[in-house]
Structure 1
Amino acid sequence: MILILNAGSSSLRCALFRDGQDAAVWRVHVAGIGNALKLTVTGGLDLADDPPPDGDLDAVVGWLMARMLRLPDLRLRAVGHRIVHGGTRHVGPARVDEGLIAELEALAPFAPGHQPQGLACIAAVGGAWPDLPQVACFDTAFHRTQDRLAQIEAIPRGLTEDGLPRFGFHGLSYAHVARMLPRLIGKTAKGRIVVAHLGHGASLCAMADGRSVATTMGLTTLGGLMMGTRSGTVDPGLVLHLIQSRGMTASEVADLLERRSGLLGVSGISDDVRVLEASEAPEAREALDLFAYRIARETGSLAVALGGLDALVFTGGIGENAAAIRADVCGRLACLGLDLDPGRNDRGCTRIERVGATIPILVMPADEEREIAQETEGLVGTRMTASPSPPS
């Protein structure tokens, strides 16, 4: 069995997979860490008698490890982790060791809301099972196939060569879509595809032959589309103005762009699409309109990078569940040949284009945990071993 840990900025997902099986034995999702905790469990695992504690991610991970150690017959041969930033060196999963941990710690400033959380999970597993192999699977790795022009910024060459290219993120989600898409649209999956991973964090990826060609995020998880609380890409002159003319510190600007912007900042109400859709406030409508406009505009940009568009895929929590957002985006992209079926879209069908439309439009569940399990299994091999005993 392979245990998967996927830590977000305020959430933790955990799943257990048997060798070679697509369906998880069980899944655990703890949302609202540091705020209002919400526990969701699917599969044959009962945690009702011992809910997670209030507190930070460390407390929740500690609770989860304690529960795992009490499970009978849990025979693990590896633990796989989602690590958001793998830098320029990693194009695939890597076995965790002291050298890798030091490397990932150095990358934390580029993903401050995610990298420390992934490292905390690695440390917790090491404390529970010191001898159990751990594998880091990187969100950045999927995008290392991009051409150089897609990876460089228009900054002095020396800075790019010193480790400051465009990276791109959500790669595990995109890799899952690339692997599953041929089952749904056949040979078209090898064509020119734009995938919209829309959640609290959001980005788009242009894929050709199942490989990343371009993406909206860059050096950090702050760039690209507007998101729940993140601004996405803004004029760099705005940052300079806030520091030089408004007297804000770099930390204050970072907080503004990362935690007080996006849907929350524009609406002044919430970062949750469901709350904004239920609101009658014009500010809520404007935030949703801007979100869809930015998605459509960037989709057009990626279609140019691909030389056309053969399919559009929605995934992530918003992409999977917000029919109105999908309809707005597709309406704005009608000029590219997209033709949405409103009924199919409202019902949340897998295929939501009209019958006879030339460009497939799909809704696909995100499953980063399954992709991590796939990569972990490929790296550690197929030999099953009993989980080591916890330290005394």
Structure 2
Amino acid sequence: MHPRAGRPVPPRRALQAGALPGQVQGLRLTESLLTLNAGSSSIKVALFAAGGEGDALPAARWSGQADGLGAELKARLRVRDAQGRTLHDAALDGDRRSHQGALAALLEWHAQQGGGDRIAAVGHRIVHGGVNFVAPVRIDDAVLAELAAFEPLAPLHQPHNLAGVRAAMKAFDGVPQVACFDTAFHSTQTEVNRRFALPRAFHDAGVRRYGFHGLSYESIVAQFTRLAPELADKRVIVAHLGNGASMCAMAQGRSVATTMSFSPLDGLTMGTRCGHLDAAVVLYLMRSRGMSAEQVEALLFRESGLLGLSGVSSDMRELEASAAPEAAEAIAHFIEQVVQHMGSLAAALRGVDAVIFTGGIGENASALRERILEECDWLGVHVDAAANGAGHARLTTPESPVSAWMLRTDEEAVIARHTVQVISA
């Protein structure tokens, strides 16, 4: 185990009682925590109080999101207060449409507010922690260098994550920076589920199933424990559906199996990522089509998925609004992949008691949720169309053998809580 990684923190325990006492050692209640969450097409920033009362983490004082980042999308920066009221809303043009540019705009907006509480620490979402980083850790130059080595495994995320770390180090000189890993949640999986059928030496060298979206899954476990404690410890499948999409089978709030594996490329069809692919396709592209490794990487990570299938957009909202038959086919493909993986994960759990939707698509695309649930009727999921359309937490009829739910993930709150734990240790 890496000396900086510490002992693995079981995800359930990390989110329960005692995580945030009213006065945290080394922190004053007048201090704040900043969280940075850089995704494949967005950056989220939130400001939290450094201390809190009881189990629940206080709501963010304000949260900002730059989304639509990338050449084909319309980038915009929005900042809201704890009540959801808009504090800032502006288009991002030119260089500000990049991840680094959008982050700079967010930090500039924060600086312009003036007179705020001192930033005591900055917590970061880091997508890939590799073999060694199985718990949140304070970032130093050696940690940063080791995490940079994982950039080829998560090229849409890791470079942006680490750019956020460097920008925050520069903006908040001397302030502790804490890395919180998407892969850590899945460290509870058995060796059987983490291994590829390759010679053992490759597994020992780190070629294994890691799994991702762990911070989102931690958030859902914590919420579901409060909302439906009678189900939270049973067999649950969570579908994090967004521009990046994955699903996770959980038992007793711990990861058993998940759709992403060695990198965030595997599993479900995504916005621009192909999802599950026969490895021989890569060999064909390189040998018969003369494509370089860089060209194949660009194809699979940036030009495939919903964008490649439709030729219209990687954005599910634009596809649903489009009259193009290719857009409808891309949506149907996405739904079919979710349904097939639902069956696979149910098998991994030897049954299922509840299904939960989250993520940008999972939370907001009610028509798509309904289609998925209707296709899962064989599993014992009986959708309540009215409840689903109204965006209720529970999406199924009272007599449904398997219940389905929609919960809004809060990765930022999980990052903030982990950050407090690390700097207070």
TM-score by length of 2: 0.86
State the partner residue of 1:204. 247
Alignment equivalent of 1:336, drawn from 365, 369, 379: 379
Counterparts of 2:299 and 2:90 in 1: how far apart (Å)?
37
- Residue 69 (structure 2) pairs with residue 38 (structure 1): no
Superposed, which structure 2 residues align to 1:217-296 within 5 Å? Answer: 217-296=260-339
State the partner residue of 2:362. 319
CA shift for structure 1 position 310: 0.6
- Residue 53 (structure 2) pairs with residue 15 (structure 1): no
CA shift for structure 1 position 150: 0.8
Counterparts of 2:224 and 2:89 in 1: how far apart (Å)?
39
Matched letter for residue 100 of structure 2:
D
Matched letter for residue 17 of structure 1:
F
Percent identity for Structure 1 against Structure 2: 46
Counterparts of 2:89 and 2:326 in 1: how far apart (Å)?
42
Counterparts of 1:310 and 1:49 in 2: how far apart (Å)?
41
Partner secondary structure for residue 365 of structure 1: coil
- Residue 102 (structure 2) pairs with residue 60 (structure 1): yes
Alignment equivalent of 1:141, drawn from 176, 179, 184: 184
CA displacement, residues 110-130 of structure 1 (integer Å, 9 cap, x when unaligned) = 111111111111111111222
State the partner residue of 1:76. 119
CA shift for structure 1 position 62: 2.7
For the Cα contact (< 8 Å) 1:323–1:346, is it kept in 2?
A: yes
For the Cα contact (< 8 Å) 1:37–1:54, is it kept in 2?
A: no
Counterparts of 1:10 and 1:293 in 2: how far apart (Å)?
24
- Residue 152 (structure 2) pairs with residue 112 (structure 1): no
CA shift for structure 1 position 175: 0.6
State the partner residue of 2:37. 6
Partner secondary structure for residue 207 of structure 1: strand
Alpha-carbon spacing, 1:46–1:290, altered in 2? closer, same or farther (3 Å): closer
State the partner residue of 1:158. 201
Partner secondary structure for residue 77 of structure 1: strand
CA shift for structure 1 position 10: 2.8
State the partner residue of 2:388. 345
CA shift for structure 1 position 278: 1.7
Structure number with higher relative contact order (C-alpha < 8 Å, ≥ 6 residues apart): 1
Alpha-carbon spacing, 1:50–1:199, altered in 2? closer, same or farther (3 Å): closer
Counterparts of 2:182 and 2:204 in 1: how far apart (Å)?
21
Alignment equivalent of 1:130, drawn from 173, 192, 214: 173
CA shift for structure 1 position 321: 0.8
Q: How many residues align?
A: 382
Counterparts of 1:330 and 1:122 in 2: how far apart (Å)?
39
- Residue 207 (structure 2) pairs with residue 170 (structure 1): no
Alignment equivalent of 2:412, drawn from 354, 365, 369: 369
State the partner residue of 1:387. none
Alpha-carbon spacing, 1:68–1:279, altered in 2? closer, same or farther (3 Å): closer
For the Cα contact (< 8 Å) 2:36–2:122, is it kept in 1?
A: yes
Counterparts of 2:293 and 2:306 in 1: how far apart (Å)?
22
Partner secondary structure for residue 366 of structure 1: coil
Mind listing any 5+ residue stretches in structure 2 that lack a counterpart? 1-31
Alpha-carbon spacing, 1:43–1:370, altered in 2? closer, same or farther (3 Å): same
Counterparts of 1:282 and 1:34 in 2: how far apart (Å)?
25
For the Cα contact (< 8 Å) 1:194–1:302, is it kept in 2?
A: yes
Q: Greater CA deviation, 45-54 or 197-206? A: 45-54
Partner secondary structure for residue 229 of structure 2: helix
For the Cα contact (< 8 Å) 1:79–1:135, is it kept in 2?
A: yes
Counterparts of 1:66 and 1:289 in 2: how far apart (Å)?
42
Matched letter for residue 39 of structure 2:
G
For the Cα contact (< 8 Å) 2:310–2:329, is it kept in 1?
A: yes
State the partner residue of 2:146. 103
What is the alpha-carbon root mean square deviation over aligned residues? 1.8
For the Cα contact (< 8 Å) 1:53–1:63, is it kept in 2?
A: no
Matched letter for residue 59 of structure 1:
G
Partner secondary structure for residue 4 of structure 1: strand
Partner secondary structure for residue 79 of structure 1: strand
CA shift for structure 1 position 141: 0.4
CA displacement, residues 142-181 of structure 1 (integer Å, 9 cap, x when unaligned) = 0011000111111121111101111010000001001110
Counterparts of 2:418 and 2:124 in 1: how far apart (Å)?
10
State the partner residue of 1:215. 258
Alpha-carbon spacing, 1:236–1:51, altered in 2? closer, same or farther (3 Å): closer
